[in-house]
Amino acid sequence: MKICKIIWSTNRLEYLIPTLESSSKFINWGDHEVYGIFIDDMPTDRNDNFLMDLAKSHGYNYIKLQKENLGLANSWEESYSILTNLEKDYDFIWHQEDDVIINAPINIDDLIEYTYYNKECIQVALAIQMNWYFPQEANEVSVNKIPMKKWNDFYTFNSNHLKKGTFDASFSLTKTKPLLDAINMWKENKLPLLKDINLLELKKHIYCEGVFFTVLSAYKAFHKKLNYLVDDWCISFYNKNKENFVEHIGEWSWGQTTAKEIIDERIKEYEKNPKSLSQGSIYQLKKKIEISKNPNDKINSRTWNKL
């Protein structure tokens, strides 16, 4: 098998280094051909030579250090463009964020085997700790309360049971062909179920987790000839003790978090009709505007407050 691993970095070395070190320590790639794409999107205080050497030492072959902060959506889109231009017909994409660590050994062959065991599965994700953003609510989504299924030495879980379905980019293995096919059909307006969904990021072709979840759900529905979104294509893996494999460690972030065109559209929408956005959405919009104007500021990842 051929696997392309992709990581999107924002030059936060205190998180990036342990993320890469834990991956090198715990992930067993087996006999597969593995290629790596590394994109860093935050030039502030960046030591280019150090970052290049760091990425190379952890198996990344194609390394792109952006000269300006363009935002995560741009990094996503560019990485898939690079992947397509490589023309190597990769079977799987390993997505990984730059502030998550894996805390136990995992064999990629186990994840691959599951995708053959379950043909409907497009993505296998390693479970992350629940309610990182709202730790006070952790009991509400305890692993003891969710419907897991036993498979070999793992417990599996479809996160959509919690109505929090998303495309997992933290630690996940995704079948390349259906993902790229879905993206192409979305951009060519060939997925009927997307036409009536009023999601600005979707209509503007902005790459992000929520959009990809909707696109892949519509893609699955299209091929099954169904008139509703199919959301069972992503499965999370817990270990034999029902414990998560992945820990989010990124307490702060910086740089563009939302595409500028989306912020501009939201501002126009709000100015035209202030009641079109909820109080929560207005708060988020104001924070995104602040970040957009001051991308070098460090922001608390949970509260969005400036540090």
- For the chain, count helices (H), then strands (E): 9, 15
- Structural tokens at position 142: 């305890």
> pTM for the whole thing?
0.94
Question: Would you say 18 and 249 are in contact if contact means Cβ atoms under 8 Å apart?
Answer: yes
Give me 114's structure tokens.
């599951």
Second-level CATH architecture of 2-250: Alpha-Beta Complex (3.90)
For residue 184, is pLDDT > 90? yes
Domain boundaries, the chain: 2-250, 253-300
> Over the Cα atoms of the chain, what is R_g?
19
Cα distance between the two ends of the chain:
44
pLDDT (0 to 100) of residue 274: 85
Question: What pLDDT is stored for residue 166 in this prediction?
Answer: 77
pLDDT of residue 73: 93
C-beta of residue 239 within 8 angstroms of C-beta of residue 245: yes
Are the C-beta atoms of 301 and 250 separated by less than 8 Å? yes
User: Tokens standing for 56?
Assistant: 């190379």
> Tens of pLDDT along 119-172?
999 999 999 887 777 666 555 556 666 788 999 999 998 866 555 567 999 999
pLDDT of residue 110: 98
Summarised one tens digit per residue, pLDDT across range 229-267 is: 988 899 999 999 999 999 999 999 999 888 888 898 888
- Nearest CA to 25 out of 64, 61, 62, 59 is that of 59
Structure-token pair, residue 293: 């104007």
How far is it, in rounded angstroms, from Cα 287 to Cα 278? 14
3-state helix, strand, coil in the chain (%, to 5): 40, 20, 35
Query: What number of CA atoms fall less than 13 Å from residue 109's CA on the CB side?
Result: 5
Please give the average per-residue pLDDT across 78-102, as a whole number: 95
Residue 150 near residue 240 (C-beta atoms within 8 A):
no
Residue predicted with more confidence, 2 or 161: 2
Tokens 């994840």, residue? 111
Q: Which two tokens stand for residue 122?
A: 């497009």
Query: How high is the pLDDT of residue 136?
Result: 63
Per-residue pLDDT averaged across 8-25, rounded? 98
Among 292, 242, 272, 284, residue whose Cα is nearest residue 104: 242
Residue 141's φ and ψ, nearest 5 degrees, are -125, 40
Q: Is the pLDDT of residue 94 over 60?
A: yes
* C-alpha to C-alpha distance for 95 and 9, rounded to whole angstroms: 12
| Average pLDDT over the chain, rounded to an integer | 91
| Residue 62 phi, psi (nearest 5) | -105, 110
Q: Evaluate if residue 18 carries a pLDDT over 90.
A: yes
Phi-psi region for residue 50, left (φ > 0), alpha (ψ -120 to 50) or beta? alpha
Is 296's pLDDT higher than 90?
A: yes
pLDDT single digits (tens) 267-283? 888 888 888 888 888 88
190 burial (CB, 10 Å; 0-12 / 13-18 / 19+) is middle
The share of the chain scoring above pLDDT 70, in percent, equals: 94
Determine contact, residues 218/193, Cβ cutoff 8 Å.
yes
